[in-house]
Structure 1
Amino acid sequence: MPKKSPRFRLFLTVLLIAGILVIGRLILNITQPPLVFNAQRAYRDVQDQVALGARTPGSPAYIALQDYIVKTLQTNDWMVETQSGNYAGKTLVNLIGKRGNQRPWIILGAHYDSRLLADRDPNSELRNQPVPGANDGASGVAILLELARTLPRDPDKEIWLVFFDAEDQGEISGWEWIMGSRYFVSQLERHPDAVVIVDMVGDTNLRIPKERNSNPQLTQEIWSIAHELGYQEYFIDAEGLAILDDHVPFLELSIPAVDVIDFDYPYWHTTHDLPDKVSPYSLEIVGRTLYHWITYPRSTAPY
C-alpha cells in the first residue's frame, strides 16, 4: 500500500480542523442564549447621534444618520426600504427595516429628525439654535436600533422598524408636525395589526403614563408586560396627556396604535436636551419591555 505524502496528510489535517470549526459554530448557534437588549450599546447610539450634530431635515448630520440607520439594519439582516416622497411641499425620507411575513404585522416607530429651533430654551438668545435632540429623537432611534440587533432573525410575525422623518418641526414656518408618519400612512396598501411609537423615552427620571389618544387595549398589553418585568414604577397606571405624535395618523385609520412617551421633560425643545439628561437604564426599561412584548405575545393581544 503506497504511503501518504506529507502534503496529503497536511491537507487531511486542515480539512479535519475546518470541519470541527464549522460544526462548533453550528452547535454554538443552536445552544447560545438569545441576544438581550444592551442598554449601554443603546446609550452609545444616543451619544453618537448627538455627536453628529443636530439632525435637522436636510443637514449633513441628518444624512449621516440616515446612512448609519440603513447600515445597522442591513448588518443585522433586515430588508431595508428607503421611502422618499413629497408631503406639504417638503421632500421626506422614511427608513424602514422589514423582517418576517406572518400575521400579526407589527410596526415599531420613532422619529429620527431633531428640531430646527430650540424655541422653549430659557435663554431667549438661543431659541434660534437647533435642538441637540438626545431624548427627543435620539432615544427612540436608539431603542429601535438595539431592537434591530437583538430581535429574532426568524420571527413568527411580520415586524417593521420605521424611522420617521420630520416629526418635530411643527409651528415653524413652512413645516407641520408628524409629516413623515402622515406621508407613510398615505402610502399604506394594507393595514398593520398594531403600531407602537417610542418618543422621549430616555429621561433620567422616567415615568411613562398612558397617553390619552392611544388604543386602550394595546396600551394595557404593553403596560402589563412592563409590570411583569418589575417596571411598574416607570410604566405608571395614571392617564397622561393627549399628544399629537406619530401614532395619530394610524389611529385616524382605526389602526391600533400607542405612543410610549414621557412628555414631562424639562429640556424639551431646548439646547439642554443632551446625552447627560438620558439614562441607559431608562432605555433598558423601554427596550426590554418592547422586546418581551414582541417575542412573547399574550393571548389578550389586541391583534
Structure 2
Amino acid sequence: MKIGPRPAGSPQLKQLASYLKARLPRGRFESVPGGLQNVVGEIPGKGKAIVLSAHYDTKDIPDFVGANDGAGGTAAVLEIARVMAKTKRPKNAPPIRFVLFDGEEATNDADFYGTGVRGSKAYANKHAKNIEKLVLVDFIADKDLSIPREESSDEEMWADLRAAAKRVGAQSVFPDESSGAVMDDHTPFLRKGIPSIDLIDFDFPCWHQPCDDLTAVSKESLNLSGEAVLDYMLTEWRSRA
C-alpha cells in the first residue's frame, strides 16, 4: 500500500512487480501485449497445472489504492505460495502455478473484455492446453465479507471450496448462495473450457472508490478466505498422490 495507486503500465506497478517476483517460487515475468507483464511463480509437478491467480494492478483513478480490489487477492496468493513452497510435494502431484495478472482493469468500462483482463487473456491464450483448473481470488478482504458462488464459476470446484472452508472454520464466509455472473480474470479460461472459480464479494460499497483503502479491509476476512483457499489447494495437490 505504500506504493500507492498502481495502474497498468505505471512505474509504481513495475516496482511492485519486482517485489512480487522475488517472493514467488521460481518467480518470473511473462510479457503481455501493450508493454504489460504478468508475474508468475511455479511449483513443478506432473501433468496439467492448477492455477491460483489474482490481479495486481489498480484502476486508474486518482487516490485509488485498491486495498481489496487488487491488493487483497495478491496478498493471499503470496502467502499461499509461501506455505506451499515449504510443504513437501506429494508424489505425482500436478504443477501449481501462482499467476498475478497485469491489466485487469479496463481502460474503457463500456468494453471491459476488450480493454480489460489483458493479462489473463494473454495467459489463457498461451497456456490453456497445460491448465487443468483455475482459482481466481479477487474481492476477498473486505470487512463485511460474504462470498457466494459467482454464477459462471464451476459448481464442482465451488462445492470443494466450501468443503475446504468448513474444514478450516471459514464456512460463514461462503454461504450456500449464488450471485450473478461477472466478467473477470477467470472469463478467458472459462471460454477455453477450463473449469474456473472466481472468489468475489461484489457487494462492496467501495468498488472503484478512493475509500477502498486499509479502512475497508480486515485481516480476519483475509485470513478466513485465505485459509479456505489454502486448504482447497493443498487438498487438490495431495489428491493425486
- TM-score using structure 2 length: 0.90
Could you tell me how far apart the structure 2 residues matched to 1:291 and 1:59 are?
31
Instruction: Give the corresponding residue for 1:137.
Output: 70
Paired with 1:277 and 1:189, the residues of 2 have a C-alpha distance of 35
Q: 2:127 is aligned with what amino acid? A: L
RMSD of aligned residue pairs (Cα, Å): 2.0
Separation in structure 2 between the aligned mates of residue 268 and residue 209 of structure 1, nearest angstrom: 17
Task: Decide whether the 8 Å contact of 2:150 with 2:182 is kept in 1.
Answer: yes
**Is 2:91 the partner of 1:158?**
no
1:115, 1:130 within 8 Å by CA — same for their partners in 2?
A: no
- Contact 1:96-1:161 within 8 A present in 2 as well: yes
Residue 94 of structure 1 aligns to which amino acid in structure 2?
Answer: N
Structure 2 residue aligned with 1:81:
28
1:97 pairs with 2:35: no
Q: Percent identity?
A: 32
Q: Distance in 2 between matches of 1:163 and 1:219?
A: 21
- State how far apart, in whole Å, the 2-side matches of 1:116 and 1:51 are: 17
Task: Quickly say closer, same or farther: Cα 1:94–1:152, change in 2 above 3 A.
Answer: closer
Kindly indicate whether the alpha-carbon contact (under 8 Å) linking 1:100 and 1:159 is maintained by their aligned counterparts in 2.
Answer: yes
Which of 89, 104, 110 matches 1:167? Answer: 104
Q: Is the 8 A contact 2:147 2:201 kept in 1?
A: yes
1:52 aligned onto 2:3: yes
1:298 Cα deviation after fit: 9.3
Q: Can you give the 5+ residue segments of structure 1 that lack an aligned partner in the other structure? A: 1-49, 118-128
Deviates more, 1:277-286 or 1:146-155: 146-155
Paired with 1:85 and 1:209, the residues of 2 have a C-alpha distance of: 31
Work out which of the two has the higher radius of gyration on C-alpha atoms and give 1 or 2.
1
Distance 1:172 1:247, change over 3 A: closer
- CA deviation profile, 1:153-181 (whole Å, cap 9, x unmatched): 44233100000001012425997121110
Alpha-carbon distance in 1 for matches of 2:95, 2:7: 31
Q: Which amino acid aligns with 2:94?
A: K
Which of the numbers 136, 140, 146 marks the counterpart of 1:201? Answer: 140
State whether residues 215 and 258 of structure 1, in contact with CA within 8 Å, keep that contact through their aligned partners in structure 2. Answer: yes
- Seen in structure 2, the aligned counterparts of structure 1 residues 283 and 55 have a Cα distance that, compared at 3 Å, is same
Contact 2:72 2:141 in 1 (8 A): yes
Which of 146, 160, 173 is matched with 2:79 structurally? 146
Deviation at 1:152, TM superposition (A): 4.1
8 Å contact kept, 1:197–1:246: yes
> In the TM superposition, what is the alpha-carbon distance from 1:100 to its structure 2 partner?
2.0
Select which of 57, 69, 90 maps to 2:20. Answer: 69
Residues 110 and 91 of structure 1: is their aligned pair in 2 closer, same or farther, counting only changes over 3 Å? same
Match of 1:278 among 193, 217, 230: 217
Q: Distance in 2 between matches of 1:145 and 1:286?
A: 14
